[in-house]
A and B are shown apart, each in its own frame.
Chain A
Amino acid sequence: MSLSSLLLAGRGTDMTSYFSLLYLGAFLPLCLLIYSIFPRRGKKYFLLAASYTFFWLISGKLVVYLALSTLSIHYFGIWLDRIQKERDIAVKAAEKENRKELKRTYQKQQRLVLLFAAILHIGVLLTLKYSPFFTTNINTLLAHLHIPIHLAVPRFLMPIGISFFTLQAVSYIFDVYRGTIRADSNLFRLALFMGFFPQIVEGPICRYGETAEALWNVKTIQFTNLKLGLQRILYGLMKKIVVADRLNPFIQEVFSNYAKYEGGILAIAAVFYTIQLYMDFSGTMDAVIGTAEIFGVKLPENFRQPFFSRSISEFWKRWHITLGAWFKDYIFYPVTMSKPMKTMTSAARKKIGNHFGPLLAGAVALFCVWICNGLWHGSAWSYIFFGMYHFVLILSGNILDPAAKWIHKKLHIQPERPLYRFFQMVRTTLLVIIGELFFRAEGLRAGLSMFQKILTDFRFTTLNGDLLSKLRMDQFDLFIVGITLLLVLTVSILKEQGIRIREGLSKKNTAFRWAVLYAWILFIVIFGAYGPGYIPVDPIYANF
């Protein structure tokens, strides 16, 4: 028996889902128990050890990627910090007229270090995640051109969560470069920020300035935090196993055999998939944020009632918020604020006015953001299409904004009226569903074919009990999904109104609280889609 197998390396792949029995029933309770009895000063080190143990269990030897990534940004950060310190001393000592030039010289040095660090990290991600895709496409192109060369398609083992921790690493080094944060001289603190176990698989993508200090200063578990954290995990569990997993057989069957089904059924599958994706990902985020809450750490929210969005651009401010914010801060702004873009904007302002002028540079930046967003989700044309689809929607929204305002004025439409807001939400949701159809489809061609069928063959004639039973669903499943969605909708409305439900519940008397919790737990146990006959959906975002 090898040492790695003896130490259970990669034996915990079941724990990739934060709702797995192994994680919720063994790893997390054990972790909380040991954490509680650990001396106060050592708690942070235990948390770091637990995080690396978790990653070791789910990824085995691939944990080396996380360790090397952390180690490298640690030293890149220190390197940048040293340059900044040298610059400050040099600038202070220099004559006033030389200071600008001196700053520029140091800025160049910093930029080189930043570039080197970013290329290294993004390069590893590109190699592991995208080289098979690029090589396959090059081979297709060569075949089309009748060039008898065939490149071997590389296959790499990719550590889970690499897309998430790479973005955290790049954001850290960027923030040090920008001077938003100081480089961390403590490797362990940085390692905990990078590898904190509840967030390593699916995010949220945290910023060093937001969470590193809080993680490093963890204290004794407070009973209130424990209660609130567990309640949040329970809420996520409900979303995941009652809704996302219950819809899985239908979605899998229809998307895999779309040619057999009518457009109406394909449209239902697209709606179901959008619900599933939201329930799976936001449910996981509930578990992640809830777990961090137990330790007294506040992680950034990744969802803010996205289906209440009135436009696609608002949707992306409410859906996978930390990814959107990352692209905004580290791609959109740097591109918009770059010299060529600034020159282009001022030239465009003069020619096409103050509204459309800045849009040009914005469009270029937006294009970069959405091509990256598409590719970040996966190395396939369907993901690039997904990115471009949102790029076009957001850009056209920006371009048509004055026209929309003009139409509102002419038609005496008051955009703030509830009915019109509702119309905007429905419209946005429909556009999102179309995007998710391409996102889930098994390839771009399949997505286009499904979309075409929805437009040309929108029928439900075969949608009956027989079909539902073939798709391993019945009216009871739909009823339970409906009830749960209604529950989630109610919670979302209350949250939108700023009402804190868990805090409200904690103020009620014990009998009421326990009754609610018992009912909630039994609801999940009885109506959850698990056990014989069910195949749980793998954590969707863990694959990105």
Chain B
Amino acid sequence: MRRFFINTIRSLGFICGLLALLLLSSQIVKPKGNSEADGMQDPRANGILGEAPNTVDLLFLGDSESYSAFMPLKLWKDYGITSYVCGSPGQKLYYTHEFLRKTFETQSPKVVILETNCFFRNFSYAEMVESTVSNLMPVFRYHDRWKSLNEKDLDFFTWYSNLQNNKGYVYSTVKNGTTPKGYMHFSKELEPISDKNLSYLEQISAFCRAHGAKLIWVSTPSTKNWNTPRHNTVQKIANELEIPYVDMNIMRKEIPIDWKNDTRDKGDHLNFNGALKVTDFVGKYLSERYALPDHREDPRFKEWDVALQQFNKTSDNALGYE
């Protein structure tokens, strides 16, 4: 019995030492800035870490559909709303949840818009655990940075100052149209959704409620990804959780997407034209229902004008600036 106790204490000692070393190495390898050059994962979405605290009022979350459809700088230009798209390619809901929590550490968005395409992207328990462990010990996520470590990494101090001029939006003027067939045809079917995804939707909803943010689910137009069974499922869950749900795929009058000109990849994602229409609608929708403040006259938000100018410079004055 004595031997058992000695072995147990020794093992615990060994594990504690190992944890300490893992935490220490995490501090070394974790990116010290939030830019791509710093080695940050998903630097575009993580650009929100560089925004001044409590300056973002509207948060967009989701996969590639979100950063192709929502244009924060247009909302700024037209309504003075400060928003950010924390969208990343193939985003899964556990990752969405991480972004949400991370954002609320420095920001207090009043409205959170969650794009619904990621509701149907499945993932394994292992991915979920891996992500959680990586959050606790970034060495598991950023271990590959050993290739680019320098003396700055020994400082342990993080400085997230990189700003993304497009505020998470991906600008594309590529036109690769389609003629949708069978898109959003009537059906009573329900697309199955995994228990894990359902659980994350509940957690995201509870989190927003706890932090006083209004959550809205939005399905952006996509002939490739969206269909009536998906709509039915999302509508059903939205009703159960009492979350406002806007399916832009069935709002052809309000958002008249021209599938020949408004998509960059045959209906999968919207291009700039499509994003203009979607963002126009979002702006109107929010201004009618939620009193998000107009910061255009606030000198503390000058950076947003700079970002808009910068965007116009690189996009052939796409949004126009007086």
Contacts and interface: CB of A to CB of B under 8 A. Distances in A.
A binds B: yes
A518 B18 contact: yes
Interface in A10-27: 14, 20-22, 25-26
Nearest to A524: B143
Interface of A: 14, 20-22, 25-26, 223, 474, 476, 510, 514, 517-518, 521-522, 525-528, 530-533
Contacts of A518: 17-18, 21
A531 B14 contact: no
Interface string B1-35: 00110010010001001100110010001000000
Contact of A525 (B14, B25, B126, B147): B25
Contacts of B21: 518, 521-522
A530 B130 CA distance: 11
Given A223-B7, A476-B147, A532 B41 contact: yes
24 contacts: A14-B125, A14-B126, A21-B130, A22-B124, A22-B125, A22-B126, A26-B125, A474-B147, A510-B10, A514-B14, A514-B17, A518-B17, A518-B18, A518-B21, A521-B18, A522-B21, A522-B25, A526-B139, A527-B146, A530-B143, A531-B143, A531-B144, A532-B141, A533-B144
B125 A525 contact: no
Contacts of B25: 522, 525-526
B253 to A, nearest CB: 39
Nearest to A519: B21
Contacts of B134: 531
A528 B140 CA distance: 9
Interface in B119-156: 124-126, 129-130, 134, 139-141, 143-144, 146-147
A527 B143 CA distance: 7
A14 B125 CA distance: 9
Contacts, number: 56
A6 B273 CA distance: 46
Contacts of A21: 126, 129-130
B129 A25 contact: yes
| B interface majority secondary structure | helix
Q: Which of B3, B29, B125, B134 has the most CB of A within 10 A?
A: B125
A14 B126 CA distance: 8
B179 to A, nearest CB: 34
Nearest to A1: B195
B125 A531 contact: no
Contacts of A531: 130, 134, 140-141, 143-144
Contact of B14 (A22, A517, A528, A530): A517
Q: Which 6 A-B pairs have the closest CB atoms?
A: A21-B126, A22-B126, A476-B147, A223-B7, A14-B126, A526-B143
Contact of B124 (A14, A514, A522, A525): A14
Given A21-B129, A531-B144, A526 B124 contact: no
Nearest to A521: B18
A526 B146 CA distance: 7
A151 B282 CA distance: 57
A533 B42 CA distance: 12
Contacts of B29: 526
Nearest to A527: B146
A522 B147 CA distance: 15
Contact of B143 (A20, A476, A525): A525
Contacts of A26: 125, 129
Q: Which of B7, B129, B144 has the most CB of A within 10 A?
A: B144
A528 B134 CA distance: 14
Contacts of B126: 14, 20-22
Nearest to B26: A525
A21 B146 CA distance: 22
Given A22-B124, A526-B146, 15 more contacts: A20-B126, A21-B126, A22-B126, A510-B10, A518-B17, A522-B22, A525-B25, A525-B139, A527-B143, A527-B146, A531-B130, A531-B134, A531-B140, A532-B41, A533-B144
